[in-house]
Amino acid sequence: MPKPDSLQGSLDLLVLKILSRRPRLHGYAIMSAIQDMSGDVLRAEEGSLYPALHRMEEAGWIRAEWITKDTGRRARLYELTAAGKKQLAAEESRWQAVTAAVNRVLRMA
């Protein structure tokens, strides 16, 4: 059963945004980046990160590549594709619209 996700609906947006700023990250680094940049407020559900990454890869928004690091350890690095950039723009404006609407409601009520 899927656990309640504190980032419901916004995980894709965060991942895309982070990959647009810092290309070629592996899963753990993406997760840490979300945590760090949000000042520890947002914490990506680790369990939902990988299915989400694979789903986005399938959709063609990001692409992945296995590399071997200097330490000899392998890592799967993700980066944004052209389609992903478009998707990011769309999701970002959608997010702005939603938050603006929520804020408006909060002010009015």
Partner 1 sequence: MSWWRRIANVFCADRLSREIDEELRLHIEEAIEQGRDPAEARRALGPALRLREESLNVRLITWLDSLRADAVFGWRQLMKRKVTSAAAILSLALGIGACTSAFRLVDALLLRPLPIAEPERLYALFRQGIGPDGRYRISESNEYPLFRQMRAAVKDQAELIAVSYASRTDLTYGSDGEMEKAYRQYVSGWMFSSFGLRPTLGRLLTENDDLKPGAHPYAVLSYDYWATRFGRDPKVIGRTFRIGNDLYQIVGVGPKRFTGTEPGTIIDIFLPTMMNPGVTHSDWSWFRTFVKLKPGVAAEPVRERLTAPFQAFQEERAKGFIGAPKQRVEDFLHQKLLLEPAATGVSPMKEDYRTSLAALGVLVALVLLIACANVANLMTAQAAAQAREMALRVSIGAGRRRLAQLVLVQSAGSHWWRPPSAGCLPVGPRHSSSA
List interacting residues with partner 1 (CB under 8 A).
3, 26-29, 32, 46-47, 50-51, 54-55, 57-58, 60, 66, 73-76
- Measure the CA–CA gap between 72 and 56, rounded to whole angstroms: 28
Which residue lies nearer to partner 1 by CB, 40 or 58?
58
Beta carbon of residue 18, minimum distance to partner 1 (angstroms, whole number): 16
Which residue lies nearer to partner 1 by CB, 27 or 84?
27
Beta carbon of residue 11, minimum distance to partner 1 (angstroms, whole number): 14
Which residue lies nearer to partner 1 by CB, 9 or 97?
9
Beta carbon of residue 44, minimum distance to partner 1 (angstroms, whole number): 10
Strand pairing category for 62-68 and 74-80: antiparallel
- Measure the CA–CA gap between 105 and 99, rounded to whole angstroms: 10
Q: How far apart are the first and last CA of the chain?
A: 35
- Measure the CA–CA gap between 50 and 70, rounded to whole angstroms: 24
